[in-house]
Amino acid sequence: MLHTLLSLLAANVLFTPLSRRAGFGNVLGYLIGGIIIGPAGLRLVTDVDDIREIAELGIVMLLFLIGLELRPRRLWIMRKTVFGLGVGQLLLTGAVLLPLVHLAGPGWTGALVVAAGLALSSTAIVLPLLAERDLLATTAGRDAFSVLLFQDLSFIPMVALVPLVTGEGLPLDDPWIQVARGILGIVVILLGGRFFIRPVFRLIGASRTPETFTALALLIVVGAAAIALGAGLSASLGAFLGGVLLSDSEFRHELQADIEPFEGLLLGFFFISVGMSANLDLLLTDPITIGLGLLVMTVVKIVVAFALGRLRGSDMQASIRFALSLSQGSEFSFVLFATAVGAGVLSTPLANQLTLIIALSMLTTPVLFSLSERSLIPRFEPARKPVYDKVFDEESSVIICGFGRVGQIVGRILAMKNIPFTALEKDEEQVEFVRRYGTKVFYGDPGRLDVLRAAGAERAKLLVVALADMEETLKVVDMAREAFPNLKILARARNRRHHHLLMDRNIDGIVRETYHSSLVLSRMVLKTLGVAAKEAERTVDFFRQHDEKVLVETHAFYEDERQLIQTAQQTRDELMELFSRDLGASEKQRDTGKNPEGVRVPKQAG
């Protein structure tokens, strides 16, 4: 077991970063790692089934976390998309695949099962694929999730109905018993989450034992999955329902923090197990059949999903992403085909071929999606041509370069004093955003000399450089000093090094962007801790004066990191010594009624 765990962790660590760096995401790295260490590769791990049973907990935990993000109210709002788009995708994809699969020879009964299985898509592939690119909250992400949720719901009836298509005349009440068991399982999960889980959480939370809380979180996930399995439902559906029930609880964030590390690791193990289960010998013995099957399934699923996305009103980008994300087969298809083999609907060789096709589709989906994001999606970016003025005819005494957080505050204060200014911002979205709030800002790159001239830099009195990027700030300052020697320049510094670089240019004023706010926060911290207001003010002011003095002194050797480190250590000791000395002098002053120079100070009344 230790050897197996070592191989799984090594595959995770070695191949996932390479795949991610290549731009194909984590999933492809997991699958390739599984192929390499599995029976078709180095044979470091051969007992695939045992690993998959544990690794499938990753899918269960993934669905639980998704449930935690969904409020019941939001789930109710999504019902039209879940059942509308979900039904459309499953039925249309299955209907197109059915005659094509029939041509392969399994007969209409087998073709029906195969078409239904190939129409399913992988929740475990799609959701991480979209999450890595922050696309889950987009139209494509919401639509894909809705379809996958419906597929999870429809998978159970599919498996239950497989024996019926054999034509052996099973008792008519068997399906209804399955349905009744499923409903009972859902009721148990709902009631347990509503009346039992929250009191237990409060009890465990009161005991303040984090490890017990983590164990309870895992128990809930596994317990909900076990109840669903016992009722004939999918384990992931049970976990999803459990997550939805707890999404409104006060323990939601704690649950998420406890479950996420296990979910990520086990989900990776699941994909590795899928890669290990791929029977690549079939690809060598019958590459045409496998390749043609993969091509047909992928093309049909992409075309149908794309058409549904466009019919629904989604733009080209959303429709492409929606279609490509659903282009693979599902992990549930493995179960469906195994059930069909047991019922005599499919032959074992055909089921093995279908399993390999699905495994390969899981490999191709991240590649197709990544290539699309690089080359296809950018072509459909909406054209955003700046419609803002590029010729500035105002007589402004101040030019503000960069109208982000810092520049906006400067501009608002100038506007309050009725001082005209010209604001330059090269980010089109920022310009559009600020203009919606009634502030006039011009689209233009302040790093271009012609833009500064057009903004009136030759006539202006002051240039405020409030750019976030250090290099851009230095570029603008250098250009302005050379082209407009009479223009005063004030600049925003990102840090001490940036401050020193601006000091080299001998400009008129420099402000470290977080320095003063940090001093204000420090003063608040001291007051909150019980330090008297005057004492807190004096402490912070003492630090400010000393820090500004050291900043000027270290300018002479700011390129020498070794000397800077040594100076920083000396400064800390010196600051503490000076402050202690100053504190002693203050106490002596209070005792004698004199200030440090010996002048008697009258006592305050009260």
Task: Give the lowest-confidence range in 139-148, 149-158, 388-397, 514-523.
Answer: 388-397
Task: Give the lowest-confidence range in 477-486, 514-523, 551-560, 571-580.
Answer: 571-580
Q: Is the pLDDT of residue 560 over 90?
A: no
Question: Which of 82-86, 296-300, 356-360, 414-418 is modeled with the greatest confidence?
Answer: 296-300
- The mean pLDDT of 12-40, rounded to a whole number, is 81
Give the Cα-Cα-Cα angle 470, 490, 485 (nearest 5 degrees).
Answer: 100
Q: Is the pLDDT of residue 156 over 70?
A: no
Domain edges within the chain: 2-371, 389-513
- The mean pLDDT of 565-586, rounded to a whole number, is 61
pLDDT-based confidence at residue 280 (cuts at 50, 70, 90): confident
Cβ atoms 68, 243 nearer than 8 A: yes
Secondary structure class of 344 (helix, strand, coil): coil
List b or e across 112-150, with b for residues whose CB sees 16 or more CB atoms inside 10 angstroms. Answer: bbbbbbbbbbbbbbbbbbbbbeebbebbbbbbbbbbbbb
* 314 token code pair: 């989604």
What per-residue confidence (pLDDT) applies to 71? Answer: 66
Q: Is the pLDDT of residue 102 over 80?
A: yes
CA–CA separation, 410 vs 408, rounded Å?
5
CA–CA separation, 24 vs 16, rounded Å?
10
Task: Give the lowest-confidence range in 32-36, 244-248, 249-253.
Answer: 249-253
- The mean pLDDT of 138-146, rounded to a whole number, is 89
pLDDT-based confidence at residue 227 (cuts at 50, 70, 90): confident
**DSSP labels for 151-206?**
HHHHHHHHHHHGGGGGTS---THHHHHHHHHHHHHHHHHHHHHHHTHHHHHHHHHH
* 538 token code pair: 């004096």
The larger pLDDT score, comparing residue 107 to residue 290, is at: 290
Three-state secondary structure of 524-583: HHHHHCCCCHHHHHHHHHHHHHHHHHHHHHHHHHCCCHHHHHHHHHHHHHHHHHHHHHHH
CATH class of 389-513: alpha beta
Q: Provide, rounded to the nearest whole percent, the portion of the chain with pLDDT above 90.
A: 17
The larger pLDDT score, comparing residue 317 to residue 178, is at: 317
Contacts of 596 (CB under 8 A, 6+ apart): 585, 588, 589
- Of 3.20.20.300, 3.10.580.10, 1.20.1530.20, 3.20.20.120, which CATH number belongs to 2-371? 1.20.1530.20
Say which residue the tokens 């999870």 belong to. Answer: 152
CA–CA separation, 310 vs 288, rounded Å?
33
Q: Count the Cβ atoms, other than its own, within 10 Å of residue 315.
A: 13
